[in-house]
Amino acid sequence: MRCSQCHSDDIKVIESRDVADDQAIRRRRMCVKCGYRFTTYERVERPQLIVIKNGGRRELFDRNKLLAGLYRACEKTPVTSLQLEKLVSDIEQEIYACGDQEVNSSKIGELVMYRLPELSEVAYVRFASVYRRFKDIAGFEQELSHIRRQQTVK
C-alpha cells in the first residue's frame, strides 16, 4: 500500500477494529514519511452479484454505488459514515444469504427502505423520493403518512 499524498510505501497501522458484525476490518493507517492518516476497510471477497435493473439491464453489484446514494440521502443529517457502512454491509449480507447470483434492484431498494428510517427519517424521505420516483406532492404525502403509521406501531 502506498500513501496517496507522498507515494511512500512506509505505512503503519495505527488502529484496527471489526465493523459490520465482523464482516469487515476498519484500519486507521499513517504514512511514516509524511504523517498523512487515512482509513481502509478489508472485506471477504465474495462471488460477484448481478443486479437486474428495472429496464432488464444487468450490472455488477457495486456496494460503493449504494453507499454513495445513501451518503446523498443522509447529507446534513447526524448519520455517521460508520452507521452507513454497517447498513450497507447488513444489506449486502442479506442479499448474499439468499444464495442467488442475481438480485433485482427493487429488492435492494426495499431492503434500504426498510432499514433507513431507523437511522434518519429525513434520509428515508430523500431516498424514497428518488427510489419511488414521486411525480407529485401526493406521492410524497403518502410516503410521509407511511412513516407516521410506522411510528405509531413502534
Ranges of residues in the chain whose predicted pLDDT is under 70: 20-21, 151, 153-154
Cell of 50: 448481478
3-state secondary structure of 94: helix
Cell of 76: 446534513
Per-residue pLDDT, 34: 96
Per-residue pLDDT, 76: 93
What are 82-117's pLDDT values in tens digits? 999 999 989 998 998 888 899 999 999 999 988 998
Q: Is 93 left (phi over 0), alpha (psi -120 to 50) or beta?
A: alpha
Per-residue pLDDT, 154: 60
Per-residue pLDDT, 151: 65
Closest to 88 in 3D by CA, of 48, 43, 148, 58: 43
- How far apart are alpha carbons 2 and 107 in whole angstroms? 38
Question: Contact at 8 Å (CB) between 43 and 92?
Answer: no
Tell the residue number behind the cell numbers 410524497, with chain if given.
140
- What's phi and psi for 13, nearest 5 deg? -85, 125
Sign of CA dihedral 39, 49, 66, 82: negative
Per-residue pLDDT, 147: 72
| DSSP secondary structure code for residue 78 in this structure | S
Q: How many CA atoms lie within 13 A of 134 on its CB side?
A: 15
